[in-house]
């Protein structure tokens, strides 16, 4: 299964996928990594010899045009839009993908989110869970649909919230669960164990 990963930040989830895919027994290949910016995480792809591309929203008149150019870049790298044509994984992409892009790729388009959706959607999930005074939160891997963090849930895992811990500390502990969860979800999709229903 050809996988294109989209990131905006440090890319530790990307690195987990790259490390997993380095094992020939892993049923997916990371064929490209894209970003909306000069994401530090792109260095993980370069180090692994995986092509990268940057498509900046500010270079286009509207979000749909950005989505079209992003879709073309993904397809150029071997991830198509039809059945059995690959998978797009958003792992820390800090952008809402436009409707046209979602229609092209979904349901072979998944996202990882650092909360137990539908709790705490949006860009500040970890902060929101802390602010809610919750005693636990977690991580969700879901299909991206036209909403924000609203698509069908594929996998979830819980993470306790420790008294007095800060946002960064909690987010790092969430990522410790998130990285293997994402790696295993992509494995399950690649083997057909997990079906992405159209």
Identify the burial level of 119 via C-beta atoms within 10 angstroms of its C-beta, where 0-12 means exposed, 13-18 middle and 19 or more buried. middle
- Near ligand GRF in 59-88, by CB under 6 A: none
Which residue's Cβ has the minimum distance to ligand GRF?
92
Tell whether residue 97 is among the known ligand binding residues. Answer: yes
| By CB under 6 A, residue 175 contacts ligand GRF | yes
Q: Indicate the residue among 10 and 68 with the shorter CB distance to ligand GRF.
A: 10
113 is catalytic: yes
Compute the distance between CA of residue 38 and CA of residue 42 in angstroms, rounded to an integer: 7
Among candidate residues 174, 171, 167, the one with its CA nearest the CA of residue 127: 167
* Of 44, 77, 103, 113, catalytic: 113
Tell whether residue 111 is among the known ligand binding residues. Answer: yes
| By CB under 6 A, residue 98 contacts ligand GRF | no
Q: How many residues in the chain?
A: 198
Among the listed ranges 54-62, 81-89, 107-115, 156-164, the one in contact with ligand GRF (CB under 6 A) is 107-115
Identify the burial level of 1 via C-beta atoms within 10 angstroms of its C-beta, where 0-12 means exposed, 13-18 middle and 19 or more buried. buried
Residues that bind ligand GRF (CB under 6 A): 7, 9-14, 41, 91-92, 112-114, 175, 178
């Amino acid at each position: 299964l050809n996988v294109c990963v989209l990131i905006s930040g440090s890319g530790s989830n990307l690195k987990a996928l790259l490390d997993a895919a380095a094992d020939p027994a892993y049923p997916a290949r990371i064929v490209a990594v894209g970003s909306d910016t000069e994401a530090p995480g792109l260095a993980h792809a370069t180090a692994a010899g995986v092509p990268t591309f940057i498509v900046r929203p500010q270079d286009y008149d509207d979000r749909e045009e950005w989505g079209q150019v992003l879709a073309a870049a993904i397809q150029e790298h071997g991830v198509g839009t039809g059945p059995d044509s690959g998978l797009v994984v958003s792992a820390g992409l800090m952008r809402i993908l436009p409707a046209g892009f979602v229609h092209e790729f979904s349901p072979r388009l998944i996202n990882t989110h650092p909360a137990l959706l539908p709790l705490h959607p949006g860009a500040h999930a970890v902060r929101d869970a802390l602010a809610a005074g919750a005693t636990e939160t977690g991580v969700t891997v879901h299909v991206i649909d036209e909403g924000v963090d609203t698509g069908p849930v594929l996998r979830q895992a819980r993470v306790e919230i420790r008294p007095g811990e800060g946002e960064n500390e909690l987010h790092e502990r969430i990522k410790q669960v998130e990285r293997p969860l994402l790696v295993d979800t992509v494995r399950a999709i690649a083997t057909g164990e997990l079906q992405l229903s159209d």
